[in-house]
Amino acid sequence: MMPPAPFLAALTADLPPILLAPFVLLLGLIAVMPLTPARWHERWERSYPLVAVGLALLVGGYYLLQVPAGGRMLTHTLHEYVSFIVLIGSLFVAAGGIHLRTKGEATPWENVRFLAVGAVLANLIGTTGASVVLIRPWIRMNKIRIGPYHVVFFIFTVSNVGGALTPIGDPPLFLGYLRGVPFFWLLEHVWAAWLLTLGLLLAVFYVLDRRSFARMPAKIQGEVGQQPGGFRIEGRRNLVLLAVIVAAVFLPAAYLIREGVMLAAAAASLRVTPPQIHAHNHFTFGPIKEVAFLFLGIFTTMMPALNYLEAHGSRFGFNRPAQYYYATGGLSAVLDNAPTYVNFLKLAETTFVPETPEELAAGGADYDRRAVRRLLEVQAPIVVAISLGAVFFGALTYIGNGPNFMVKSIAQGAGVHCPSFFGYIFRYSLPILLPILMLVGWLML
């Protein structure tokens, strides 16, 4: 539960600016450490849980000891964190119990269909879940001629852009759902931009893939075209469990009923999935462990930044959708897109729907959800811009969204040559993805 709004007004006037440092430091470490030399990267892999928890305790302790109603604010934040991590973790576990066996080699058209289906699937099981399920079949079905662009466009479409239609699709959108954005609101308002962006990306991919296919010897081209294609799904029980997790999103949030159902489905997945399927998928808890620790730190250290925006956000002069689209997108490309989304949503709330004196006096536990509902009524294009910016621009770099580095790691482990960090940006993101996102922003916002 959030404390009454008057407490928030008093709080933001007294917060020392230095309290923003843990949030900036943690996001900076997340962005920079994967790019450091191997020994520094290895040291970070061992120490990031302590860093994240330590910074969370530092900020959480200040709120408990120095802030009026800080305990209630911290409880509200931790409740959001639990809801977030349980959804992501449950989808990860259930998706990790599904294995797709592919037959034959893929033609360019079959590859386009595969990416399109993956983009749709990302809205049902999340970009993380879809990436886990589909990246290895994608590599196998293109094993004769797979190149860096296959990995890049998988990240563009399945790991990022595809998941823009539902709160399940991408982590920032689920945070919006927790804060009051209705589940189907996104589907109603962003489908045209989603379809245009995905269509343009698939068109560019088809041109590149067709050129690659044409360079193959004619005999091999003919054999690929004649091979019987298809998929065989192993671990089908997990499809039912994924459906249970998705359905649980609509359950009441009180008493952690929703989270309990999701955890039960994840536990059932671990029990019913044969070990050989997890072995085929190289399933481990490493990725979700990293997300759990880092986001505990992010959620907690983000509290002062949100409170600062609440008090001073209207001074920034952001009043057009395009400003929110590019600002949210620019930061989502180099920082994690989930906290970026929340910060700009809060900025929009304070800019367009400031609390009246009567509402400030009334306060109430439904503070965040009330502000978001009013924002949707008066400035829906702003929320669309924030949502699309967070999801779409997360594909601009390897560090923009969690699945990006995961896909790169899996592909490299399978022997696929992947672009370097700057090769990804300067060869693919800037010349291909960014112009498409700018065109979509110009046409749709």
Note the pLDDT tens digit of each residue in 370-398: 889 899 999 999 999 999 999 999 999 88
More confident residue, 152 or 346: 152
Note whether 29 and 40 are within 8 A (CB): no
pLDDT at 395: 95
pLDDT at 223: 62
Between CA 325 and CA 276 the distance in angstroms is 44
Q: Indicate the burial class of 280 (C-beta count within 10 angstroms; 0-12, 13-18, 19 or more).
A: middle
Note the pLDDT tens digit of each residue in 119-132: 999 998 889 889 98
* Rounded mean pLDDT, 218-231: 62
Strand partners, 234: 99
Encoding tokens for residue 96? 């990790």
The one-letter code for the residue type at 262 is: M
90 contact partners, CB below 8 Å, separation of at least 6: 245, 262, 263, 265, 266
pLDDT at 2: 42
Three-state SS for 372? helix
155 contact partners, CB below 8 Å, separation of at least 6: 395, 403, 404, 407, 408
**pLDDT category of residue 429 using cuts at 50, 70 and 90:** very high
Note the pLDDT tens digit of each residue in 189-213: 999 999 999 999 999 999 999 998 8
* Rounded mean pLDDT, 161-165: 96
Residue ranges per domain, the chain? Answer: 5-444
Report H helices in 257-336.
257-272, 275-280, 286-301, 303-312, 321-334
Query: Is residue 35 predicted with pLDDT exceeding 80?
Result: no
Encoding tokens for residue 377? 């009524």
Between CA 437 and CA 37 the distance in angstroms is 32
Note whether 136 and 103 are within 8 A (CB): no
Summary mean pLDDT of the chain: 85
Question: What element of type H or E holds 320?
Answer: none
pLDDT at 1: 36
Question: What element of type H or E holds 160?
Answer: none
Note the pLDDT tens digit of each residue in 284-341: 888 788 888 988 998 899 888 877 776 776 677 888 999 999 999 998 887 778 878 9
pLDDT at 358: 55
pLDDT at 313: 67
Query: Is residue 433 predicted with pLDDT exceeding 80?
Result: yes
pLDDT at 9: 43
